[in-house]
Amino acid sequence: MSSMQVEVVTPERKVVSRECKMVSARAVDGDIGILPRHIPLVTVLAPGVVKIKGESDVTTLAVSGGFLEVRPDSRVTILAETAELSNEIDVERARKAKQRAEDRLGKLGNPDVDAIRSEIALRKAMIRLEAAGAKKE
């Protein structure tokens, strides 16, 4: 079984750099899975959960969108604006953020409520929870 090198890079740091068997992520037009020896690819990522599967373990991250590149030597690079490892996520905070966003969306029509921003906040919180939750199972 061949494996490949994967890196998750944000402007502030390199979050992950490891060997793996498979990478799955959410691209703008659907989820994608990358196996070793994938053809060279550049795709736009939507905010979502990225999973990096190794021999027996999984690294899970919450990513706020970015790019995924597969190089000819089948190295995978994920360029994300922000990326959080599942064990770095503050579940309590994410839950509260979700609650707040939902409350705000419940009060639509109120001129103080920015629907788009609340929606984005809600999505972010849900992605975080998903990434963090996946680890606990």
Please report, as ranges, the residues that interact with other proteins according to CB under 8 A. 7, 9-14, 27-29, 32, 39-44, 66-67, 69, 72, 77, 79, 81-82
**Residue with smaller CB distance to other proteins, 33 or 40:** 40
Paired with 58 in beta bridges are 53
Other beta carbons within 10 Å of 38? 16
Q: How far is the CB of 130 from other proteins (least distance, A)?
A: 23
Closest-CA residue to 65 (of 4, 104, 8): 8
Q: Are 28 and 14 a contacting pair, CB within 8 Å?
A: no
Distances (CA, A) of 47 to 80, 97, 101: 9, 16, 17
Q: How far is the CB of 62 from other proteins (least distance, A)?
A: 16
Q: How far is the CB of 77 from other proteins (least distance, A)?
A: 5
Q: How far is the CB of 89 from other proteins (least distance, A)?
A: 18
**Residue with smaller CB distance to other proteins, 15 or 49:** 15
**Residue with smaller CB distance to other proteins, 72 or 111:** 72
**Residue with smaller CB distance to other proteins, 11 or 109:** 11
